[in-house]
Amino acid sequence: AQKITQTQPGMFVQEKEAVTLDCTYDTSDPSYGLFWYKQPSSGEMIFLIYQGSYDQQNATEGRYSLNFQKARKSANLVISASQLGDSAMYFCAMSATSGGSYIPTFGRGTSLIVHP
């Protein structure tokens, strides 16, 4: 069974500082994808970044980077130079096979608050 664990219910960061949101995963599938999504208070889910299990380099998208440590089964999201608009819920997700299909599984999320 696939499992995503986010151990930080809430995080606080000062504006312009960097912050790391933790995510660990568990799967026996050698081929999987890892994703991070942002959910502002409006409720919409916004895709941020993707990392494939066979990718050698960490994924980056603007101020977002994914610190992928395969042996430790971790996929932490790093947000550099935090902005007030980064305040939101952040969800880690994994897409791995389940019964022959790739099914996205989500963690419980981390609430990030950026202080001015």
Partner 1 sequence: DGGITQSPKYLFRKEGQNVTLSCEQNLNHDAMYWYRQDPGQGLRLIYYSQIVNDFQKGDIAEGYSVSREKKESFPLTVTSAQKNPTAFYLCASSWASTNTGELFFGEGSRLTVL
Q: Is 64 in the site for partner 1 (CB under 8 A)?
A: no
What's the closest the beta carbon of residue 112 comes to partner 1, in angstroms? 15
Could you say which of 8, 22, 63, 104 contacts partner 1 (CB under 8 A)? 104
The nearer residue to partner 1, 14 or 54, going by C-beta atoms, is: 54
What's the closest the beta carbon of residue 86 comes to partner 1, in angstroms? 19
Angle at 57 between CA 73 and CA 60, to 5 degrees: 95
User: Could you give the CA distance from residue 111 to residue 97 in angstroms, rounded to a whole number?
Assistant: 28
Q: Is 3 in the site for partner 1 (CB under 8 A)?
A: no
Strands (E), 1-116: 3-5, 10-14, 19-21, 24-26, 33-39, 46-52, 60-61, 64-69, 74-79, 88-98, 101-106, 110-115
Could you say which of 7, 26, 47, 84 contacts partner 1 (CB under 8 A)? 47
